[in-house]
Every structure is written in C-alpha cells, then in structure tokens.
Chains A and B, each alone.
Chain A
Amino acid sequence: MITLTEDQRDSLLATCIRALPNEGCGLLLGTSEGVVVDVVASPNVADSARVYEIDPKVLLRTYRRADDEGLEVIGVFHSHTHSPAYPSPTDVAQAPDPTWHYVLATFLPVEPEVRSYRIVDGEITEEEVTIQPVTATSPPR
C-alpha cells in the first residue's frame, strides 16, 4: 500500500497537468512503509506524450536528499494521457526496482464520450458529432 495526503495527490496531478500534452512524471520520497513524505516533480526529459523519463539531475538530487533526511526514494509517478492508469508493457519492461511503487494517473475522460472518425487509406480524421435532441416530431425508430 502507498499512502499520500490529499495535497500530495493534488501536487502529483498538478505536475501531470502542467506537462500536458506530454506525460508528466516525478519521484516519491518517503518511508519504507510506503508513506509518501514528498512528491518531487521532474521534467519529462523524453518530452513525449507516449513515454517519460525522469530528469537525471532530479534523480541524483532526490537520492541525495533521501540520504540527508533519512528517507527513501520509494517510487515514481507518471501520467498516461490517452490510456488507462495501468502499467503498459513499456512501464513493466523498464521498472527498475521491485520494491518501488509505480503510481499512474490518467486523463481519460471520466464521462462516457462518443467520437467519430473517417478512416481513409489508413489515415484517421476525426469528424464532429452533432447530437440532436429528441422531439415529438422525431421519426419513429
């Protein structure tokens, strides 16, 4: 289990929002019991909406801070901008430490959504969806 305060969760989400349209990321500083003491934002040096990499400078600085403060780097967080908050094959392949907590956020819409596309010769083009209200004069189904 990992424990965050509401402020820490909000800080984590704010980091991910600021990184949009790219994935956002950062490190989790805390105790071996999984209690987060601080959320450390990092630039996504991969500069990508599909992958992330923690800035090596932030990585070193956070490990030094952990040593100085008697804490541990207990995990990493990042956002998926277009897929569920579930580890991707890339996340799994590159997970460096089996003791870590891998926290994911997603910006998938929480409300059901209908979108429409034309797909021509492999090229995807989104089209507008207009929803008409149901009226008494609507044709019968």
Chain B
Amino acid sequence: MSATLRVPTVLRPAVGGHALLEVEGATIGEVLKNVTAQYPSVTGQLLADDGTLHRFLNVYVNDDDVRYIGGVDAPVKDNDEITLLPAVAGGAH
C-alpha cells in the first residue's frame, strides 16, 4: 500500500527535511516501522520501545485519530493521507 505521510515541522530534520513522504505499509505500525528503518534518526519519536504509538504523538489516517481505529493495527489503504502531529500538552502540575 502506498500512502502519503505529512511530517510535522519538529520531526522534519529527522527525516531529511521532508514535509511529505510516500510510505508503504498495510497498517500504521508497518508504516511507522518502515519510516524508522529508512530514517533511523526518527527512532523513538514515532513508536515507543514496546512497539506501541508514542504517547506524545497524534497519528491520523485521513480524518481519524488512529487510537480509535486500532492503534498500530489501524489499516492503511492506497492513497490514504497519514498525518503526524505532536500532542500539545502541559500544565501547572
């Protein structure tokens, strides 16, 4: 499956400066593993050590937050658009 991955500004230096990547994989987990294999600098920023999604990264397939459609098992189809956005969080604690 070939899909488009939109890379947020803060992660672009780790993927050769690209804002868009053509990616392969039948699931989000496969896609992110493939990206990590191609760009080792991004290791640890997409997937946690246990293979789950990084806690502070939001991943969307088209309009869907993948946490609600299977997480790393969320299916990816040809021509899907995958968007990565760092979680925006903080607080007084």
Contacts and interface: CB of A to CB of B under 8 A. Distances in A.
B90 A91 contact: yes
Interface string A111-131: 000000000000000000000
Contacts of B90: 51-52, 76, 78, 87-88, 90-91, 93-95, 102
Nearest to B90: A91
B92 A27 contact: no
Given A59-B58, A96-B10, A99-B9, A23 B86 contact: no
Contacts of B86: 96-97
B92 A50 contact: yes
Contacts, number: 81
A94 B89 contact: yes
A56 interface: yes
Interface of A: 23, 25, 27, 46, 48, 50-54, 56-57, 59-60, 63, 76, 78, 80-83, 87-88, 90-91, 93-99, 102
Interface of B: 9-10, 56, 58, 60, 63, 65, 67, 83, 85-93
16 contacts: A23-B91, A46-B91, A51-B89, A51-B90, A53-B87, A56-B60, A60-B85, A63-B85, A78-B90, A87-B90, A88-B92, A91-B90, A95-B90, A97-B9, A98-B10, A99-B9
Which 10 pairs of residues, A with B, have the shortest CB-CB distance?
A: A51-B91, A50-B93, A91-B90, A96-B86, A53-B89, A54-B88, A80-B92, A56-B58, A83-B92, A94-B90
